[in-house]
């Protein structure tokens, strides 16, 4: 089998600017890799400007496209090393690694389809055993936690809308949640956590993300100590992620697990989080970190250090499908992130959730289809395709 073509296309909500709840997708790039046997592999490319994705992956003149043509896509690890090594004198971080991660996911999709096997079996199989999971979850399923945002970031909107969305999703059977009191005072962070826990009751998983809010350790320590009574599973990104000394001081003074990794690339940044920062929850995105090949390495490094891996995904269920395969393989992944479309207005998110791996009673069953298990119907692409002349924007407003 040989790679014959790489193509990039961009999907977005038709009127994303009119969506007030922050879920709108302006332009999300996807890559599809073709082979001479008719097997194709698909991946989204989260948070890379579509123009960058085209320059790196679209066609025989692109940075990676010219290196992939004529290559055997099996196995993905060999091509990961080839593309990564091609950048040793250039850019080994940032958007290029995310594009490499998307190539890797698409190659695993091809690999699985060529053998007629779901990707998690090729990663190493379902390694989890019942005693390694939390809250009585079965080894034969993956539990998504729903990330909750509000339409506005004033105190009243955060406290009212986020609790309302948690309870709406709880009524639909979801079992795990993360609230996001962004740009809030410590008092509002504690109050949102208290209200959400009271509404949910003691059992459902609840985590908190403040999005790089603080610069001083003292404010973080004081706030986290107040949160300890609410059974918070992890607390995400209290500081900008480059401030390892601040993270090290905080993790030494709190009983809560500290989480980070949504924008981290390669295993080496995750090693730094764990060894210098003392963080206990790693959150790689399947494309951002460098693909499933690199995510599997992150799992192995985290397991050896006593950390857990709860992959991030504030994107669509296409990336979510790749995330599920890592979670099935990983013995240290009790939850994965998901932006449940039932809580948000984005038509594209809703359409992609319908073709993704289904969530039933708050859980995702082990995939059975070959490859990653998600295909985009032509009519879906036609409906949401963003034409070249519309111009390029990020996936969402930054």
Condensed to tens digits (0 to 9), the pLDDT of residues 268-327 reads 999 999 999 999 999 999 999 999 999 999 999 999 999 999 999 999 999 999 999 999
- Between CA 90 and CA 252 the distance in angstroms is 37
Q: How confident is the model at residue 16 (pLDDT cuts 50, 70, 90)?
A: confident
Domain coordinates in residue numbering, the chain: 3-116+377-390, 123-365
Mean of the per-residue pLDDT values of the chain: 93
* Res 388: pLDDT: 78
* Res 140: pLDDT: 80
Q: How would you classify residue 231: left for phi > 0, otherwise alpha for psi between -120 and 50, otherwise beta?
A: left
* Res 326: pLDDT: 97
CATH architecture of the region 123-365: Alpha-Beta Barrel (3.20)
Pair of tokens at residue 384: 């949401």
pLDDT at 93 exceeding the cut of 90:
no
Q: Choose among 131, 137, 128, 64: nearest CA to 101.
A: 64
- Between CA 320 and CA 357 the distance in angstroms is 8
3-state class (DSSP) for residue 147 = strand
**For domain 3-116+377-390, which CATH number applies: 1.20.1740.10, 2.60.40.10, 3.30.390.10, 3.50.50.60?**
3.30.390.10
* Res 17: pLDDT: 74
**Interval 102-124 mean pLDDT:** 97
Q: Choose among 260, 344, 310, 369: nearest CA to 137.
A: 310
Q: What are phi and psi of 135, to 5 degrees?
A: 60, 30
Q: Choose among 266, 369, 283: nearest CA to 326.
A: 283
Q: How confident is the model at residue 21 (pLDDT cuts 50, 70, 90)?
A: confident
Q: What are phi and psi of 235, to 5 degrees?
A: -120, 125
Fill in the DSSP letter of residue 209: E
3-state class (DSSP) for residue 260 = strand
344-366 pLDDT, tens digit per residue, is 999 999 999 999 999 999 999 99
Q: If you count them, how many residues does the chain have?
A: 398
* Res 23: pLDDT: 86
Pair of tokens at residue 204: 């459902």
**Interval 159-180 mean pLDDT:** 98
- Between CA 261 and CA 51 the distance in angstroms is 25
193-242 pLDDT, tens digit per residue, is 999 999 999 999 999 999 999 999 999 999 999 999 999 999 999 999 89
362-394 pLDDT, tens digit per residue, is 999 999 999 999 999 999 999 999 987 665 555
* Res 398: pLDDT: 47
Q: Which residues contact 180 (CB under 8 A, 6 or more apart)?
A: 147, 148, 149, 150, 162, 208, 209, 210, 211
């Amino acid at each position: 089998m040989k790679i014959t073509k790489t193509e990039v296309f961009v999907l977005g909500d038709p009127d994303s600017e009119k969506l007030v709840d922050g879920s709108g997708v302006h332009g999300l790039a996807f890559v599809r890799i073709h082979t001479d046997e008719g097997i194709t592999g698909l991946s989204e490319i989260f948070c890379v400007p579509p123009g960058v994705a085209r320059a790196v992956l679209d066609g025989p003149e692109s940075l990676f496209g010219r290196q992939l043509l004529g290559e055997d896509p099996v196995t993905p690890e060999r091509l990961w090393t080839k593309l990564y090594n091609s950048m040793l004198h250039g850019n080994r971080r940032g958007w290029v690694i995310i594009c490499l991660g998307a190539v890797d996911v698409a190659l695993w999709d091809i690999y699985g389809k060529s053998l007629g096997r779901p990707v998690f079996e090729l990663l190493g199989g379902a390694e989890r055993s019942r005693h390694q999971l939390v809250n009585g979850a079965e080894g034969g399923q993956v539990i998504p936690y729903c990330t909750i945002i509000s339409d506005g970031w004033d105190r009243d909107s955060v406290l009212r809308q986020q609790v309302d969305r948690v309870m709406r999703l709880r009524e639909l059977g979801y079992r795990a949640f993360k609230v996001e009191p962004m740009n809030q005072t410590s008092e509002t962070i504690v109050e949102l956590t208290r209200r959400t826990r009271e509404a949910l009751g003691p059992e459902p998983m609840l985590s908190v993300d403040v999005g790089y809010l603080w610069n001083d350790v003292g404010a973080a320590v004081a706030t986290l100590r107040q949160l300890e009574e609410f059974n918070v599973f992890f607390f995400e990104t209290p500081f900008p992620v480059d401030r390892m000394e601040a993270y090290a001081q905080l993790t030494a003074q709190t009983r809560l697990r500290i989480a980070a990794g949504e924008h981290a690339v390669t295993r080496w940044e995750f090693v730094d989080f764990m060894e210098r920062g003392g963080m206990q929850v790693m959150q790689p995105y399947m494309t951002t970190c460098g693909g499933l090949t690199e995510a599997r390495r992150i799992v192995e490094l985290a397991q050896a250090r006593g950390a857990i891996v709860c992959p991030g995904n504030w994107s669509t269920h296409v990336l979510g499908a790749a995330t599920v395969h890592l979670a099935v393989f990983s013995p240290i992944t009790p939850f994965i992130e998901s932006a449940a479309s039932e809580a948000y207005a984005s038509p594209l998110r809703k359409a992609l959730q319908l073709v993704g791996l289904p969530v039933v009673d708050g859980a995702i069953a082990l995939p059975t289809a070959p490859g990653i298990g998600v295909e985009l119907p032509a009519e879906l692409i036609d409906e949401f395709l963003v034409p070249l002349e519309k111009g390029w924007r990020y996936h969402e407003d930054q």
